[in-house]
């Protein structure tokens, strides 16, 4: 009997295994589809993320490119400006007879000083013409104090005034000296 009980159990087990194996196969296939779907979704999310990053990098690159182009344009403008200023500097050096920028700067400073002296000398001359000898004397004394008598009357090696301008200064100096007392005579040689 045991054999009989065992014999009918075997065919039932085989019959039960077929539906279980079908269920297992169905769950296995469903699981594979779920995994495939999850991988597809992950791939899509990764693609969207990389597209956004690529878009950001493209925008950043275009911004940097435009900034670089702007910087290049400014550099070109500055180069043109430097070339123009260099030409002007060369022309000034030729006109003043200087060979380097230090000599040119000294020449420009001398011209600036000469312009200031001539302006003050013109003021003193106008004051003398108006009869304001004291004002003219103050202008002449201020010039002598600032620049020295020899540079103004043209006798110094680095004279500010030469020729006619030195003669005008000397005339004005002599016209204002009779008004000077002994204290003023000490400042003039």
| Domain containing residue 31 | 1-70
Which tens digit of pLDDT belongs to each residue from 35-71?
999 999 999 999 999 999 999 999 999 999 999 999 9
- Dump the DSSP string for 46-62: HHHHHHHHHHHHHHHHH
Domain assignment present for 145: yes
Q: How many domains does the chain have?
A: 2
Sign of the torsion formed by the C-alpha atoms of 168, 170, 174 and 176: positive
Q: Are residues 56 and 109 in the same domain?
A: no
Q: Are residues 8 and 63 in the same domain?
A: yes
167/162 Cα distance (integer angstroms) = 8
* Mean confidence (pLDDT) of the chain: 78
pTM recorded for the entire structure = 0.44
Which tens digit of pLDDT belongs to each residue from 131-150?
777 887 888 888 887 877 77
């Amino acid at each position: 009997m045991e054999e009989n009980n065992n014999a009918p159990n075997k065919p039932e087990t085989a019959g039960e295994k077929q539906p279980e194996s079908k269920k297992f196969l169905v769950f296995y296939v469903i699981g594979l589809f779920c995994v495939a779907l999850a991988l597809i979704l992950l791939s899509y999310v990764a693609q969207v993320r990389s597209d956004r990053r690529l878009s950001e990098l493209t925008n950043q690159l275009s911004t940097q490119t435009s900034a670089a182009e702007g910087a290049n344009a400014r550099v070109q403008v500055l180069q043109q400006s430097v070339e123009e200023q260099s030409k002007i500097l060369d022309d000034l050096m030729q006109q003043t007879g200087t060979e380097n920028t230090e000599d040119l700067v000294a020449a420009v400073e001398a011209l600036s000083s000469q312009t200031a002296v001539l302006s003050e000398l013109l003021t003193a001359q106008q004051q003398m013409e108006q009869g304001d000898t004291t004002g003219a004397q103050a202008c002449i004394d201020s010039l002598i104090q600032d620049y020295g008598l020899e540079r103004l009357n043209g006798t110094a090696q680095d004279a500010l005034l030469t020729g006619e301008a030195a003669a005008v200064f000397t005339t004005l100096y002599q016209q204002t000296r009779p008004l000077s007392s002994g204290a003023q005579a000490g400042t003039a040689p």
